Structure 1
Amino acid sequence: MKKNFFFLFYLLAGIIVGSLLANLCAGVPFLSWLAYSGSIGFAAGDPACLDLIVFKLYFGFSIGVSVAQIICIALAMFIYNRTRVR
């Protein structure tokens, strides 16, 4: 249980730090490639709607990943492997 918690912590830390790094580097000309991102999903701009008169339920999923996030997640997994207790 403790190992799973630390793995999740390192994973989320890599995602958050990578996102922050991508936002900071977006305005710097020679580091702007770190902010390059792509998104994947379905119905991101116009989600599917299930209208049941009483309520409406919208379905949609989209995820965006930047180069900085990929690098930070890989770095976080490397650090996790180095620091975990066997």
Structure 2
Amino acid sequence: MEVKVSEKKWAFIIILLTGIVLGGLIGKLAQGIPSLWWLNYGNEFGFAKPLSLNLNVIKIEFGFTIAITVSSIIGMIISILVYSWMSKKY
């Protein structure tokens, strides 16, 4: 069965985002463990204060921040390895 290129792209994006989120979650959970403090080591960047748009009827705030930690990078690497293993199999 032939898989379309666009389906492969979406599968890669979903697997990559899942790895990043799970890695970040593991880093947050390991934050309280003294020997695993390094998993949550990283930096956060983005908009410090969200952009606010007040239209009198509705108020919309736009904000964007990214936290890059060691555990999220490890999760990203693992998700890329999982994707390459899955793409060889299918």
5+ residue gaps, structure 2, are 1-5
Deviates more, 1:27-36 or 1:3-12: 3-12
Task: Give how far 1:50 is off.
Answer: 3.0
Task: Give how far 1:10 is off.
Answer: 1.6
Q: Which residue of 1 aligns with 2:33?
A: 28
Q: Give the number of aligned pairs.
A: 84
The answer to whether the aligner puts 1:12 opposite 2:17 as a matched pair is: yes
5+ residue gaps, structure 1, are none
Matches within 5 A, 1:19-58: 19-42=24-47, 44=48, 46-58=49-61
| In 2: Cα distance, 1:64 partner to 1:72 partner | 13
Change (3 A) 1:57 1:74: same
Matches within 5 A, 1:55-66: 55-66=58-69
Q: Normalising to structure 2: TM-score of the pair?
A: 0.72
TM-align CA RMSD: 2.1
Which has more helix, going by share of residues?
Answer: 2
Q: Match for 1:50: what amino acid?
A: L
Q: Normalising to structure 1: TM-score of the pair?
A: 0.75
Q: Give the % identical residues.
A: 37
Runs of 4+ in 1 over 2 A off after TM superposition: 46-60
Task: Give how far 1:22 is off.
Answer: 0.5
Deviates more, 1:31-40 or 1:48-57: 48-57
The answer to whether the aligner puts 1:75 opposite 2:78 as a matched pair is: yes
Q: Which residue of 1 aligns with 2:3?
A: none
